[in-house]
Structure 1
Amino acid sequence: MEATKPHIALLASPGMGHLIPVLELAKRLVSHQSFKVTVFVVATDHASIVSSQLLQSPASPDGDDLLEIVLLPLIDVSDIIGPGVSFIQQIEATMLRSVPFFRTEISKMESRPTALVVDWFGTDVLEVADEFNMLKFIFITSNAWFFAFALYTPEIDRKEIDEHAKNQKPLKIPGCRPLNFEDTTEFLLMDPNDPTYQRHIGVIIKMSLTDGILVNTWDELEPTSLKALRDARKVPIYPIGPLIRPIEKSVLRSEIIDWLDKQPEESVIYVSFGSGGTLSAQEVIELAWGLELSQQRFLWVVRPPTEKDAAGAFLTLTNGCDCNPDYLPDGFLARTHDRGLVVPMWAPQVEVLSHPSIGGFLTHCGWNSTIESITNGVPMIAWPLYAEQKMNACLLTEDIGASIRATPMESNGMVTRGDIRSMVRKILVDHEGRNIRARIKELKNSAAKALAEGGSSYNVLFQFAEICIQHLSTKAFGA
């Protein structure tokens, strides 16, 4: 490797929604820029799985040994786990406690990184970048609208936030779509004196003081929000997406892909709530009945219900086998065996979404799943569960026109089987869904153009690379 090539350090938080785009960013920097990249991963079950999969494939088309993955020691947060402690608080504690280990690893390196890239939960590690004279960047693994909302939060008048929280008035975001109360995030509804709220504000302020923000989106997908961020001139913005997993052959091919091979083109609704999403027992029952009543083909990744937390599986290993789904309605599997496949716990999602027989995706609207669906031209039914997923659902439905949205009943918060039946049919076969089906094909093309040489995301990644090269040159001359 040439001495003039920067060395980029990336730090990945636990959780598939952060790990996957960080690892794909690393591969992009290697293949497009021939940079040396080291990915530091906090060791969890999820992290070990994704990292080992990546290590089994070449880091770059030329086979250059430019990509290294370092698993940091497992962090024990058992002392804070208990009632009322969210998975987000667990991740934050894990990342904070990983700082000394990360510092030690950096100090041992012969070739110190030129730049450090961390995600939302890694801002505590930025102090290490300052110690070792590294550029520091934040990687937003969600959309630009969500980041614009977050970036402006410390400046929004408290009266406006109170009106939003108490009287359910839309919250204005400069230059962007207002945030409706039904799509708001949990932290905005907290007491401003709550330490968790204060920490969120502190994280946002740290982001605004970095050398730039990488966002897993592209100009043609979110022109309004990206323009607002650039016009604000708070921090340089680099939309470099979509970053998604490549299509790889799966060990489960005989069960899932072979079944899909037998189905007509665009005839199957794929149902999955991501690596961490769970439904309640009654929601599972309603979903099962809705799929059955639709009379359409379906592939459903199902996991045991939970009544406590919609993100109940976020930090747990979920690619095991639940071979006796007794929480499904009596006789459901027998009645739907000729048109449906129920898969316990996990499926090779990118491979599924790229299959010609998939005609729709019922999704929790995690951003990874969202852009995987867009880049494969699959229209969506948006059923958000937690975090910023309601904002994602709003963006998909009202701005982008790539989905329809599941609407829970006000009386009990349930999405009914009748609504599920109607939504599935609308996405797959009904005439009224034709505009969504056409729109998603346009978005698929825009994503491909953004990544191609000369495209918007290709050019922005080149700009990021130039900043890193300039910083390396400055360090080399001791300026």
Structure 2
Amino acid sequence: MKQPHALLVASPGLGHIIPVLELGNRLSSVLNVHVTVLAITSGTSSVTETETIHAAAARGTCDIIELPSVEIDHLVEPGATVVTKILAKMRVMKSEVWDAVKSMKKKPTVMIVDLFGTGLLSIVEVGVMKKYVYIPSHAWFLALMVYLPVLDKVVQGEYVEIKEPMKIPSCKPIGPKELLDTMLDRSDQQYLECVQSGLEIPMSDGVLVNTWEELQRNILTAFREDGELSRVIKVPVYPIGPIVRTNGHVDKPYSIFEWLDKQRERSVVYVCLGSGGKLSFKQTMELAWGLELSGQRFLWVLRSPTSYLGACSSGDDQVSSSLPEGFLDRMRGVGLVVTEWAPQVEILSHGSIGGFLSHCGWSSVLESLTKGIPILAWPLYAEQWMNATLLTEEIGVAIRTSELPSKKVIGREEVAFLVNKIIAEEDGRKIRSKAEKVRVSSERAWTHDGSSHNSLFEWARQCRLLH
């Protein structure tokens, strides 16, 4: 019998390509299916994006085809957001994607697109391939996306002006601190595109979501049982998480790990705001002063201003000049500031890491939770505001700033208070205990008879990927 073939389509940008590549690795290794990843590239000279694709290709678990995105300047307004541009690129690439599919010698029987690729679902002819959507985020985010077209019809005015949190069936209501940044202006093209994506998800044959049963049981149950939420999404939802990057090989001696090896167990706060995380000069200064004021050990991956798609704009000198005068000298031995790429999964795996000051991108969240590391939530954009609320109020593995860092500069005193709380105080130990329980449940989900393992095989049977 021929080996089944699954096609995965990844939208431009590291934050979209990496989760799809990891899903491909999981399908290949667990189900023993032939996987082709169609990576639609940004069209820019993003070295990081290219290196990531080439590194994934070298692993050999998936075939990877790069497909440059088409020009869409005539389809979007000047100054359009990155989200708008990505969605527009994906929608106009139907013929290019279908041509790539037809040119494959081994025809795929299943196509999986990410959230930005839902416009491609209509290219699949009935009976040719099963079509699925992969949500590399959590179940609450999926619920909001499929319910957004309903909110669009029933809510009057701008969401930001509504005083009462908006209700979503079987979920925590969406308040001002949870709104996606794509929802802040209903006249913006990116909002209209997101509403359209919410309508397109139920056009698939099902949805794969990067969470697991024990983490979000109530919402996942609501997707299955007869109710308003299941009537909106209509198709099966398969929780198959956590799918995260695994530990890779790190050559030693390596300065970061040499430094970490000298620190006490669970004594270091790891600070990293992702490839797209931007801080103002003032906020960078306050964060630095706060880390110093806390007296705690820290490892800070401090990057130059970076675009959402991962293209760095400057080097180490500008990064260093954004710190208080004499900071690096005063912190020598106490903290380590890294201005180049750092292996995050391996860092979070180190025994000296006691907390993670994170932008709360879902990939980073899962990398932290699967290592039992509590989070100091510092959400900046996209669904990160939702993630911060989920982590603090629902799962109980994080603390957060008093205001959204995207709205207000967080002062040094608050930074110091939060760092001390998560590393040294009793509240931090309680949160760490909860994070450890989540780590155990994440591992259990992928044991032979675990919830995510069973969910993946149930999906594979439905789309006839099993031999």
What is the TM-score when the length of structure 2 is the normalising length? 0.92
> Partner of 1:30 in structure 2?
28
Q: Which amino acid aligns with 1:176?
A: C
> Partner of 1:50 in structure 2?
52
Q: Which amino acid aligns with 1:257?
A: F
> Partner of 1:229 in structure 2?
223
Q: Which amino acid aligns with 2:19?
A: P
Q: Is the 8 A contact 2:9 2:114 kept in 1?
A: yes
Alignment of 1:350-365 (within 5 A): 350-365=345-360
Offset of 1:197 from its aligned partner? Answer: 2.9
Give me the whole-angstrom Cα distance separating, in 1, the residues matched to 2:70 and 2:253.
Answer: 35
Q: Which amino acid aligns with 2:409?
A: M
Q: 1:328 and 2:352 equivalent?
A: no
Alignment of 1:150-161 (within 5 A): 150-156=145-151, 158-160=153-155
Which of 201, 205, 209 aligns to 2:199? It is 205
Give me the whole-angstrom Cα distance separating, in 1, the residues matched to 2:368 and 2:438.
Answer: 10
Offset of 1:194 from its aligned partner? Answer: 4.9
Q: Is the 8 A contact 2:283 2:409 kept in 1?
A: yes
Q: Which amino acid aligns with 2:200?
A: K
Alignment of 1:232-311 (within 5 A): 232-233=229-230, 234-250=234-250, 254-305=254-305
Residue aligned with 2:316, SS: coil
Q: Is the 8 A contact 1:81 1:90 kept in 2?
A: yes
> Partner of 1:62 in structure 2?
none
Residue aligned with 2:122, SS: helix
> Partner of 1:143 in structure 2?
138
Give me the whole-angstrom Cα distance separating, in 2, the residues matched to 1:56 and 1:105.
Answer: 21
Which of 362, 379, 385 aligns to 2:374? It is 379
Residue aligned with 2:409, SS: coil
TM-aligned CA distance change 1:253 to 1:439, over 3 Å: farther
Q: 1:225-263, CA deviations, whole angstroms, 9 ceiling, x for partnerless residues?
A: 212222233210000000101101235861212221121
Give the RMSD, CA atoms, in angstroms: 2.4
Q: 1:369 and 2:364 equivalent?
A: yes
> Partner of 1:12 in structure 2?
10
How many residue pairs are counted as aligned between the two chains? Answer: 456
Residue aligned with 1:248, SS: coil
Q: Which amino acid aligns with 2:265?
A: E
Offset of 1:73 from its aligned partner? Answer: 2.4
Offset of 1:123 from its aligned partner? Answer: 1.3
Give me the whole-angstrom Cα distance separating, in 1, the residues matched to 2:159 and 2:41.
Answer: 39
Q: 1:108-148, CA deviations, whole angstroms, 9 ceiling, x for partnerless residues?
A: 11221101000011112212222771111000011110110
Q: Which amino acid aligns with 1:50?
A: T
TM-aligned CA distance change 1:295 to 1:449, over 3 Å: same
Offset of 1:15 from its aligned partner? Answer: 2.4
> Partner of 1:215 in structure 2?
209
Q: Which amino acid aligns with 2:258?
A: D
Offset of 1:25 from its aligned partner? Answer: 1.0
> Partner of 1:349 in structure 2?
344
Q: Which amino acid aligns with 2:38?
A: F
TM-aligned CA distance change 1:320 to 1:214, over 3 Å: farther
Q: Which amino acid aligns with 2:396?
A: G
Q: Is the 8 A contact 1:269 1:360 kept in 2?
A: yes
Give me the whole-angstrom Cα distance separating, in 1, the residues matched to 2:51 and 2:60.
Answer: 16
Residue aligned with 2:125, SS: helix
Give me the whole-angstrom Cα distance separating, in 2, the residues matched to 1:157 and 1:123.
Answer: 19
Which of 94, 98, 102 aligns to 1:103? It is 98
Which of 439, 458, 466 aligns to 1:444? It is 439
TM-aligned CA distance change 1:357 to 1:385, over 3 Å: same
Give me the whole-angstrom Cα distance separating, in 2, the residues matched to 1:58 and 1:108.
Answer: 21
Q: Is the 8 A contact 2:82 2:308 kept in 1?
A: yes
Offset of 1:156 from its aligned partner? Answer: 3.1
Give me the whole-angstrom Cα distance separating, in 2, the residues matched to 1:68 and 1:178.
Answer: 41
TM-aligned CA distance change 1:161 to 1:317, over 3 Å: same
Q: Which amino acid aligns with 1:368?
A: S
Offset of 1:8 from its aligned partner? Answer: 0.5
> Partner of 1:396 in structure 2?
391
Identity of aligned residues (%): 42
Gaps of 5+ in 2: none
Q: Is the 8 A contact 1:73 1:101 kept in 2?
A: no
Residue aligned with 2:309, SS: coil
Q: 1:304-363, CA deviations, whole angstroms, 9 ceiling, x for partnerless residues?
A: 35xxxxxx5211334985245211111111110111111114211111111111110000
Give me the whole-angstrom Cα distance separating, in 1, the residues matched to 2:158 and 2:77.
Answer: 32
Give me the whole-angstrom Cα distance separating, in 2, the residues matched to 1:321 and 1:435.
Answer: 39
Q: 1:339 and 2:341 equivalent?
A: no
What is the TM-score when the length of structure 1 is the normalising length? 0.89
Q: Is the 8 A contact 1:17 1:367 kept in 2?
A: no
Q: Is the 8 A contact 1:320 1:346 kept in 2?
A: no
Give me the whole-angstrom Cα distance separating, in 1, the residues matched to 2:308 and 2:252.
Answer: 22
TM-aligned CA distance change 1:347 to 1:76, over 3 Å: farther
Give me the whole-angstrom Cα distance separating, in 1, the residues matched to 2:236 and 2:385.
Answer: 26
